[in-house]
Structure 1
Amino acid sequence: MLTPDQNVPESGESPDMPGKVLARSPRAALTTVRRDPRDLWPEHARRLYDHLIELYGEDDVLPTLAAAWIAHQRSVNTQKSYARGFKVFEEFAREHGEHPMAVKFVLADTFRLYLETTPTWVRVKGGRRGEMVRAGKPYSDASRKNALSAASSFFVYLDKVSDDGVKNPFDAVQRPYVDPTYSPTPGYTEAEWARFVAVARDEHRVAAYRKRAYALLLTLYTCCLRINSLLNARVEDLGYDKGHRVLLLEKVKGGGRKKKPIPPVTWDALMEYLNGRTTGWLFCTASGGQLDEPAVWRLLQSLAQRAGLPLRGPHGVKGDAVTHALAKPGARPDKVQQWADHKDARTTQLYNRRRELLDDSPGYDLGRDVAGALEHGEA
């Protein structure tokens, strides 16, 4: 495995052992191809590469290897999550005077402790554009687990691409336990969802965007979609198959393509929103650009405030859809699992358990008994 400070001649021949060819560095290997493979890297790999190049320069192998590792991930969500977590790890290693690829167990375990107490980055109120300061709350359990998982995954990748093998310093590092039945995002009832959708259709503060907001919410909810899948869809992906209006998704969780049936109410909302448009992003900006996730976050927060409901983000929409589908009389968990693109039935059942922990709480029965006793003077 090449170390960060190892200098390999462009010829690949060892200067100390003539005739013996060394493994080329990623930078040197890329110069031998006619087209730079980095041109094909996905967005988050390119962003991480540019970020690391500014810090380490082109002579260091880290930017290329780290970006190639991100590009290696199938899911766009995983690419984004791992790139974000790796930046936290890289900053920690650099501040402690160590190259990220040279980190050993002691420093890796210290990174775990660092994440428990260090403040997160937040924007400076009234500051310059993009100005940030570490003044936020410490990393959540989920964020700490993500950063540790990202760093570990990077070393797993290095081991795969190395001829000599690389020991993963995070193998023995304990990660936070994240309760799979807990979600910080507040869930809506079906009645609250009806209110939410009605506000999008009739009360969104910008009247010109009401049709888009209404169609977007209905598509997310009734088609049980992840937000990145919907935002990557194009108008050309709408179609017809065996009597069903469908949306052909390029990427669902785990990769691949899938046809999602579109209910009539959602199809009507989409057609009214598109108003005859036949090309471009399915949900786009006023200039025709791709609508991004932060814009959807802002939309849902604004609609929740107008509807008098708890604030939420786009990732909670799919959870509500699965929960409500499972609660229907005669619901088949296997059908819901397939509809929700869950590879594992246990994932689908998690939504059931979250709902049951609230709906079937014995505390409600005890509360009613106490209230009844108080009302009849039995206490």
Structure 2
Amino acid sequence: MQAQPALRQSSEISTDRHDPRDDWHPEAQKLRARLEELYGEQDPLPTAAGAWCTRQKSAHTRRAYARNFLRWEAYARGAGIHPLQAKLPLADAYANHLSQLPGRGGGFLSPSAQAQALAAAGSFYDYAIRLEAVALNPFSHVQRPLVDPDHSPTQGMTPEEVERLITIAREWAPRSYALVTVLYLLGTRIDETLTLNVTDLGYDRGHRTLPLRRKGGKRQLVPVPPLALDALERYLDGRAEGPLFVTETGERWTQTGVWKHLRVLARRAGIPAAANIKPHTLRHQFITDNLAESVPLERVQDAVGHTDPRTTQRYNRRRRALDDHPAYGLAARLAARLQSEEVSRDA
């Protein structure tokens, strides 16, 4: 029989203990800290929620899950119920509450946003069941809102509006121009863009490249076309380290800051929908403008990292539903008849 290694004497065992929670992602640590403020360090909720959050594959998902969980937690706490004691009636009431919340740009929270909030809460309870922190998932039988897979809520622009926005960005500042050209010409998501560092700008087989971390944590290397590369190099002006896009104080540019800046540029460009412009608008334009130029769907799908071609196609359906709507033809024929009658009367 092989001899077992001798146990160390107690005097040899380090008394320094490492807290595994220190290895969590920042989003999970922030969620845990917020919940500890509310429930204390001894309550199991902060650790359960933080452990669940840190398991998500991308920073974007972790932020979204943490944000949606805190929304649910606040609702449960407002009802005087600890989230780990929530039952189906409270989850049903929360689903109805979500349907009455205001959304961006007016109206109510979109069905997809409601579905995401419910999915996040349900995901937490699935994990809590594994931890034996709860016995049942209160969201298992909550009715989800109907989400149209062919609907894209993002408002698009005309090619002329895109050109005006890019022109204004170029006149405004090198950083503005670099941001707009990267978002439009590469079709990137804003979180993929803002997590990039200067050192990520690479070279592969004659292409200048950027590595994107897509949804789900997968990575994709994309080429940087000459126009975007020139804009980036002018903006960087020899800077060789740090975040790719920074503020005037040298901090990484935030999504909130980019949203506000794009709307300033859109207003200056005279775009009618300036109040609703967002970073995703330029990704939307990348997809619809390429499809309008007959670029094969599968190539556009691969370029933007969609796993399902239906996700890519829905952007095109919205454009075609407006551009090719039969109301235009009907109105043109009616206008022609009315003009003809008016000419006849004048004659």
Q: Give the structure-1-normalised TM-score.
A: 0.81
User: SS at the partner of 1:245?
Assistant: strand
Corresponding position of 1:365: 329
Corresponding position of 1:132: none
Distance 2:200 2:23 in 1: 23
Within the alignment, does 1:315 sit opposite 2:277 as a pair?
A: no
- Residue 346 and residue 92 in structure 1: after superposition, are their counterparts in 2 closer, same or farther (change >3 A)? same
Match of 1:176 among 136, 145, 150: 145
Corresponding position of 1:160: 130
Deviation at 1:326, TM superposition (A): 1.0
Match of 2:195 among 206, 214, 232: 232
Percent of residue pairs identical:
44
Corresponding position of 1:266: 228
Deviation at 1:281, TM superposition (A): 0.6
Structure-to-structure mapping, 1:166-205, within 5 angstroms: 166-202=135-171, 204=172
Within the alignment, does 1:219 sit opposite 2:182 as a pair?
A: yes
Deviation at 1:37, TM superposition (A): 2.3
Within the alignment, does 1:340 sit opposite 2:304 as a pair?
A: yes
Distance 2:148 2:54 in 1: 29
- Contact 2:76–2:83 (CA under 8 A) maintained in structure 1: yes
Within the alignment, does 1:95 sit opposite 2:78 as a pair?
A: yes
Deviation at 1:286, TM superposition (A): 1.9
Deviation at 1:221, TM superposition (A): 0.9
How many residue pairs get aligned? The number is 325
- Where does the alignment leave 5 or more consecutive residues of structure 2 unmatched? 1-14
Bigger proportion of residues as helix? 2
- Contact 1:155–1:166 (CA under 8 A) maintained in structure 2: no
Per-residue CA shift, 1:148-206, capped at 9, x if unaligned? 122111111122344x973211111112223333334321122211110000111x3xx
Per-residue CA shift, 1:102-136, capped at 9, x if unaligned? 1111121121223334679xxxxxxxxxxxxxxx9
- Contact 1:215–1:269 (CA under 8 A) maintained in structure 2: yes
- Residue 375 and residue 137 in structure 1: after superposition, are their counterparts in 2 closer, same or farther (change >3 A)? closer
- Contact 2:84–2:134 (CA under 8 A) maintained in structure 1: no
Per-residue CA shift, 1:29-85, capped at 9, x if unaligned? xxx994222222223212211110011000001001111111111122221222111
Q: Which has the higher contact order (CA 8 A, sep 6+)?
A: 2
Q: Give the structure-2-normalised TM-score.
A: 0.88
Deviation at 1:238, TM superposition (A): 0.5
Distance 2:299 2:112 in 1: 29
Deviation at 1:362, TM superposition (A): 1.0
- Residue 212 and residue 118 in structure 1: after superposition, are their counterparts in 2 closer, same or farther (change >3 A)? closer
Deviation at 1:137, TM superposition (A): 7.0
Say what the alpha-carbon RMSD is for the aligned residues.
2.2
Within the alignment, does 1:148 sit opposite 2:118 as a pair?
A: yes
- Where does the alignment leave 5 or more consecutive residues of structure 1 unmatched? 1-31, 121-135, 205-209
